[in-house]
Amino acid sequence: MKLFSIERRKRIKIPLSIMILSLFLFVLPLVNIFYMGFSNSIFIKEFYKIPSRLSLLTNIVLFVPILVATMLIRGKKIGWYLFLIYSILLIFQNIYSLVFVPGLLNSGVLFRTVIWISLVIYFCKKDISAPYFKMYPRGWRGELRHPVSVGMNLNNKQMVTKDLSTTGFYVESNEFYLGLNEKVALTFPFHNEVQFTAGVVRIDTAGVGFAFRNLTKENREVLNEIIKKSKLRVE
């Protein structure tokens, strides 16, 4: 028998693409140090001295991936911006090396850098959109919220969503007197016959976040229809 039954909106674990990128960035400084050591025929026991022989800018480019990886894996908005800054610095450093030391090697390094950064952005864009480019830096989310305004009848009060997904929504209002996990009933215009139940999962100074409870197939179909029509109206 369950002694406690606290319903909360589930958050997925770190997306695989972000996990792979973070792990890669964590080990990247070590990989680069070994690469520089072997390329310059430095004895392996002397590899630890390599950073002291590099310029300040080169050391920043060398070790900043650790900071970037830490912020990314924690779902911090600044993590993605740091990655973009790091990528720009890396590309400029490679261009600088190519200008002053022209050659096939530096050309290849610049080409590979541009390609892998482009691939990272392409494969990670879906996973970084919710915690980084939407309105709340709230960490990893199981379902992408859509920033659409949709009217609803919430506990017999007329409210408008700030975002909406098939798992939950957020309402900006100070008119609520609800506690965490408290349940509410709601309906949407033109779908008054379809009843929804939601629970409070977030309360802040601007409003309240809700997660849908016990959704039926009909509930999900209605939500998808509402989201689709609302997005078309915004576009």
What CATH number should be reported for the domain holding residue 210?
2.40.10.220
Beta bridge partners of 154: 157, 186
Residues 127 and 164 in one domain: no
Residues 122 and 47 in one domain: yes
* CA-to-CA dists, residue 72 to 19, 84, 88, 118, angstroms: 8, 12, 17, 17
Helices (H), 77-168: 77-100, 104-128
The pLDDT value recorded for residue 97 is 82
> Of 133, 165, 199, which closes a domain?
133
Residues 115 and 161 in one domain: no
- Give the range of the structural domain holding residue 193, as residue numbers without chain letter: 151-234
Q: Which long-range CB contacts under 8 A does 59-66 form with residues at least 24 apart?
A: 60/89, 61/86, 61/89, 61/90, 61/93, 62/29, 62/32, 62/33, 63/29, 64/89, 65/25, 65/26, 65/28, 65/29, 66/25, 66/26, 66/29
Distance, in Å, from the CA atom of 156 to the CA atom of 171, rounded to the nearest integer, reads 15
Beta bridge partners of 200: 210
Residues 57 and 155 in one domain: no
Q: How many angstroms separate the most distant Cα atoms in the chain? A: 76
What mean pLDDT do residues 162-175 have?
84
188 pLDDT higher than 70: yes
Specify if 157 maps to a domain. yes
Specify if 107 maps to a domain. yes
Distance, in Å, from the CA atom of 223 to the CA atom of 165, rounded to the nearest integer, reads 7
46 pLDDT higher than 80: yes
Residues 119 and 155 in one domain: no
Helix (H, G, I), strand (E, B) or coil at 158: strand
Domain count, the chain: 2
Specify if 145 maps to a domain. no
Distance, in Å, from the CA atom of 73 to the CA atom of 21, rounded to the nearest integer, reads 9
Q: Percent of the chain, pLDDT > 90?
A: 8
158 pLDDT higher than 50: yes
Specify if 171 maps to a domain. yes
Residues 123 and 220 in one domain: no
Residues 22 and 103 in one domain: yes
Specify if 142 maps to a domain. no
Least confident range from 31-45, 114-128, 178-192: namely 114-128
Residue with tokens 């590899």: 47
Residues 156 and 197 in one domain: yes
Specify if 143 maps to a domain. no
What mean pLDDT do residues 163-170 have?
85
